[in-house]
Amino acid sequence: MEWKLELVPIPVSDVERAKRFYNEQVGFVVDLDLRLDGGARIVQLTPPGSGCSIVLGGGDGVTPVRPGSVQGVQLVVPDVAAARGELLARGVPVGPVQHVADGALTDGPGGAWNSFVYFNDPDGNGWAVQQGATDPAGGS
């Protein structure tokens, strides 16, 4: 049996602000922006190339979790330095390229699967962008 992750709820305090951030600054595609009877709003976005989407919500029935409390959602890209450059060009405050050495984060790129950048959305939800393997045997 296959189990596919399809949707990750991201708790936000302002859905419209978060939609603009994830779409215009981070580059996610808006799949759905729908108001349900009763006022709840469903905004779903998908990172380019991903099979998994996010849904934005806060206090509206989408997720009961406190805005800004999600940490460690991870994206994988073929070139983390290029991804960092895109985020910076779009106005996203993103940290430097780092890697794990001796159990701690160290500045600079690492080997295959060991280069990361980190950013937060306007509510403080934390994201990691990891460089995946670029050779055919390593996938990505």
pLDDT in tens, 43-64: 999 999 999 999 998 766 677 7
Q: In whole angstroms, what is the distance from residue 39 CA to residue 44 CA?
A: 16
Tokens in use for 23? 């779409």
Q: Which domains does the chain have, with CATH numbers?
A: 7-57 (3.10.180.10), 73-131 (3.10.180.10)
On the CB side of 31, how many CA atoms lie within 13 Å of its CA?
16
| Side chain identity, residue 16 | E
CA-to-CA dists, residue 65 to 12, 54, 60, angstroms: 9, 14, 11
Q: How confident is the model at residue 119 (pLDDT cuts 50, 70, 90)?
A: very high
Average pLDDT over residues 69-88: 96
- Of residues 103 and 136, the one with the higher pLDDT is 103
Q: In whole angstroms, what is the distance from residue 42 CA to residue 25 CA?
A: 20
pTM of the model: 0.89
